[in-house]
Amino acid sequence: WILTFNFVNIAWIFFRAENLDTAISLLKSMFGIVWVEFDARARLIPHFLSNIQGRNETLIYLILAFIVCLCFKNSIDLTRGFKPTKTYIMATMLLFWIPAIMLILNPYSEFIYFNF
């Protein structure tokens, strides 16, 4: 997945650049040795957290999501060993039919922004 992610990011440069010369110069700056000097404030973690309004919970959620993505099985692996049982079939039917019945039983409400 790392190769796919990087390929998509690199390919996206050609779609977002104004012309081919801009895209090539951006790729050269990405992969060339370019010295970038950061402001002293950019090295601090609180400055990093200011982009997420200083909320530590957001950083924790990002770390947990990263762990879940890397450590647990993906959907393809989960479906390989899946054997449908009556319980799964009934649960799937309920998840489909309950909202459908609720939509059918609700009275008709006119779209109020029809004339705009």
For residue 28, is it within any domain? yes
> Range of 23's domain?
1-36
Q: How many whole angstroms separate alpha carbon 12 and alpha carbon 26?
A: 12
Is 4 within the bounds of a domain? yes
pTM of the shown model: 0.33
Query: Domain for residue 19, yes or no?
Result: yes
pLDDT value, residue 73: 85
Residue 25 lies in a domain: yes
Closest Cα partner for 9 from 19, 25, 23?
Answer: 23
Residue 13 is assigned to a structural domain of this protein: yes
> Is residue 41 pLDDT above 60, yes or no?
no
**64-91 pLDDT, tens per residue?**
998 988 888 888 888 888 888 999 899 9
For residue 6, is it within any domain? yes
